[in-house]
Structure 1
């Protein structure tokens, strides 16, 4: 089956690579042993591969997208990100959340006092851990503790950016973005949570290169 690579995000010592299968299913591409891709993986957004895979048997919701790659062969790469988005939306008709942060993950997110979105076992668990979103307000870059975050202007919402793209100062209203939930994590021996993160955006021009180091080692 063919898969379109739609995201690549930083993890502590690896890359989390997301895709959409030819049947429209969201997947996360693990190696045959169940590990994430290497930090220097050659997989890039817009690539299309023909793959064989098996299901991961020990998934923990909401991370139900994991598949184990048995083989993969590069088929082609979309000539532009815009053409990839057109294919995803018009041919595969992928689901897209549209509106405020309240629509993300079917409204099941909780929010910290600092504006971070998360789910926990004490709350509702969504059906999946990734998705596309078209926000109804600009998302503005507001770094915190040397990490890149994007702020939604209502109800104090902040989303950490974990993608490989060079950060932009503003993601305009109506831009297609990809969001995900990090793996289960308990930072202070409290309840385990999955935090909302921004994987990337589509169709914006690349900003000029700076000396910023937007991503430090992440705990997830």
Structure 2
């Protein structure tokens, strides 16, 4: 006598997908052997943040390198949506189900793309549509003021940024600083994977990739999304 065996539900994490060529623009540190990979999708002309097929962070062993072009199949929405909700300003997240490396852009070709994506003649305080708040030299978003552009911006500043070392909880971090003529200080932490050494100045008009960290409550009951510097191009 045949038995009726209930079917197990299959685990579905992503909605219907898109396949496009994607240029890798950044590799940033996420701690504990994980990285964040940012790119530009040539089909949608939008920034993307590459996550695993199950919407997880990527291992630092992933082969993505800045300047590589991949053909990537990805989804912009999880199923159910609550599995990985897309919450502004972090609208770039995509789940990658397949990838194949096509080529690496030579510097001239790569820089032509970067220049086309860059916002010119900006002061650091005006990034992300001027929605940043500044306190003790640090820029951050509050949930009540969210830019429409997302959490990534490539900009050419109209002033230099000078790198310095900053210590926090026995850890040395690289921070880029600008002081204006009235003494105001603007600092942004470097989170890229490339090792940098002092002395280092990012000159005005250099394309810089800025991003916004996930919202974080440092213990005062206020969630902040801090400004980060993930890389620069020259």
* CA displacement 1:163-191 (0-9 Å, x = unmatched): 01222511111111100000111121521
Q: What runs of 5+ residues in structure 1 fail to find an aligned partner?
A: 204-220
CA offset at residue 40 of structure 1?
2.6
If asked which structure has higher relative contact order (CA below 8 Å, sep 6+), I would say: 1
- 2:126 is matched with 103
How many residue pairs match? The answer is 197
Q: Is the 8 A contact 1:97 1:132 kept in 2?
A: no
- 1:200 is matched with 231
* Superposed counterparts of 1:1-220, under 5 Å: 1-13=20-32, 14-23=34-43, 24-56=45-77, 57=81, 58-80=85-107, 82-89=108-115, 93-112=116-135, 114-121=136-143, 123-127=144-148, 128-145=150-167, 146-154=172-180, 155-168=184-197, 169-203=200-234
Runs ≥4 in structure 1, deviation > 2 angstroms?
none
Q: Is the 8 A contact 1:150 1:158 kept in 2?
A: yes
Q: Is the 8 A contact 2:120 2:205 kept in 1?
A: no
Q: Scaled by the length of structure 1, what TM-score is found?
A: 0.85
Q: Is the 8 A contact 2:23 2:41 kept in 1?
A: yes
SS at match of 2:128: helix
Q: Is the 8 A contact 2:118 2:207 kept in 1?
A: no
CA offset at residue 194 of structure 1?
0.6
Distance 1:189 1:202 in 2: 36
Q: Is the 8 A contact 1:97 1:131 kept in 2?
A: no
- Considering only aligned residues, what root-mean-square deviation do their CA atoms show, in Å? 1.4
Q: Is the 8 A contact 2:118 2:156 kept in 1?
A: no
Q: Scaled by the length of structure 2, what TM-score is found?
A: 0.80
Structure exhibiting the larger radius of gyration computed from Cα positions: 2
Q: Is the 8 A contact 1:163 1:200 kept in 2?
A: yes
* CA displacement 1:11-68 (0-9 Å, x = unmatched): 1221010000013210100111111211232110000000111113411110000011
CA offset at residue 94 of structure 1?
2.4
Q: What runs of 5+ residues in structure 2 fail to find an aligned partner?
A: 1-19
Higher strand share: 2
CA offset at residue 97 of structure 1?
4.8
Q: Identify which range, 35-44 or 194-203, moves more after superposition.
A: 35-44
* CA displacement 1:104-138 (0-9 Å, x = unmatched): 000000011x21100012x3111200010111111
